[in-house]
Amino acid sequence: MRILHLDSGRHWRGGQRQVFLLAATQREHGLEPLVVAAPHSPLLSRLKTQGVATAAVAMRADFDVIAMRRVRRLVSRWRPDVVHAHDARAHAIALGALLAASVPLIVTRRVPFVPKGRVKYGSRVAHFIAISHAVADALRSGGVAAQRCTVVYSGVPTPTVEHPRDWRREAGWPMESLLCGVVGAMTAEKGITLLREIAERLSPPIRHRLKLVLLGGTATGADEFGGVAAYRAGFVDAIHDAMAGLDMLWHPSGAEGLGTAVIDAMALRVPPVAFATGGLTELVEHGLSGLLAPAGDVAAFAREVERLATDDGLRSALGAGGRARAAEFGVDRMVNGTAQVYEAVLAARGRTGTHATP
C-alpha cells in the first residue's frame, strides 16, 4: 500500500511527532509512505534519517493554489492508494489537489473544536480519524456522520532513560526543591498564561519549595511565575531525559485533543495535573494515573498541585498507575488503528491497496 501523508507544520510539535511515528512504522511494516511537508521542517529531516520518502512543498495558506498544484503532480506521478492529511491546512490543500482525482482522502483531526464549513467536511473526505472521543464528538456536532469518523488514539513509544536531566544542578536550585514541568508549545492555548495565576494560589511554603521547568519555546533561562522560580529551557530534543528529571507535570491546557506530553510523563512515572477537558478525561484517570481539576478552575488546579506536592506516597502511587495507563497508548495501537481505517475505505471502493489509479 502506498500512502501520501500531508502535513503543513513548520515546527516540531505533537502532530508532527505523530506523523513521524506513523510513517516510520508503516515503512518498517512494508508499506510505502511518502510524507509531503514544509521545506526545512524538523519532520522532513527526521524522516530522512529513517529512510522514509519525503517531498518538500511550502503550504502558506489553506487554499494555496501553488501548493495544490505541486501536490497534484506528486499524486499523479506517485499514484498513492490513499492520501492522508494531518492538519487543517493540509486538509484544505489536499481537497484542492484531489479535485479531479479518485484517490480517497483521509483526514486526521486533532482538536476538540466543532468544525465549520461544508466544503472541507463534505463527502470528498472518505473518512476522518479523531484522536479521541472528544474530537469525534466535536466532528459529529459539526455535521460529520458517525460512520465517517473513527477514533484512533495517538501513540507514543515506551521511553528508555538512563540519565535523567538534573535540572536542580543546571538551574542552581536547592536539592530539596520539588520540580514541576510544563511541556509543549509555550502558547496561550496551552495554558501558559495561567501559570502565574496557578502559582499565586499556592500556599507560601509550597510556592517557595516548587520550581518550574518550561520545556518548549525559546530558551531564556531564569524566570518567575507568581513567586515560583522558573527555568525556560526552550526546545529540548532528548525530551524523555528532560521529563524524567521532573517530579510532576503541569498541563494547564484549556482544550486538548488528547495530550501526548501527558502520556510521555505518565510513562516516565511523572504524575500529571491537568484540567478535565477534551481528550484528557479519556487519558488521565483521576486519583489513579494523575489528578484532574474542573475545566478552567485555576484555584482547583492549584489545590491539586499542592496536594501532590505535600504527599510523597500519592506521587509514587500515581507514578506507578500512570506508567501502566500510558502503556495502553502505544505506537503499534495507533498504527494498527490507522491501517484498519485505510483498509475499510479501500474495501468500500473495491480496492485492495495496490497502486490505485488517481
The pLDDT-based confidence of 357 (bands split at 50, 70, 90) is very low
Asked whether residue 157 carries a pLDDT value surpassing 90, the answer given is yes
> How far is CA 261 from each of CA 115, 165, 265, 266, 309, rounded to the nearest angstrom?
24, 17, 6, 9, 20
| 143 touches 210 (CB < 8 A) | no
Asked whether residue 193 carries a pLDDT value surpassing 60, the answer given is yes
Q: What is the reported pTM?
A: 0.93
Of 223, 222, 211, 227, residue with least CA distance to 168:
211
User: Taking all residues of the chain, what is their mean pLDDT, rounded to a whole number?
Assistant: 95
pLDDT tens-digit series, residues 37-70: 999 999 999 999 999 999 999 999 998 999 999 9
How far is the C-alpha of 12 from the C-alpha of 219, rounded, in Å? 15
| b/e 183-193 (16+ beta carbons within 10 angstroms → b) | bbbbeeebbbe
Q: What percent of the chain has pLDDT over 70?
A: 98
pLDDT tens-digit series, residues 292-306: 999 999 999 999 999
Structural domains for the chain:
2-155+330-348 (3.40.50.2000), 167-326 (3.40.50.2000)
Q: What is the pLDDT of residue 352?
A: 63
Q: What is the pLDDT of residue 24?
A: 98
How far is the C-alpha of 283 from the C-alpha of 67, rounded, in Å? 36
Question: Residue 260 contacts by C-beta under 8 Å, 6 or more apart in sequence?
Answer: 14, 17, 18, 154, 156
How far is the C-alpha of 267 from the C-alpha of 29, rounded, in Å? 25
Phi and psi of 311, rounded to 5°?
-130, 95
pLDDT tens-digit series, residues 273-322: 999 999 999 999 999 999 999 999 999 999 999 999 999 999 999 999 99
Phi and psi of 276, rounded to 5°?
-80, 80
How far is the C-alpha of 269 from the C-alpha of 333, rounded, in Å? 21
How far is the C-alpha of 26 from the C-alpha of 42, rounded, in Å? 19
For residues 200-206, give the mean pLDDT. Answer: 97
Report which DSSP code applies to 87.
S
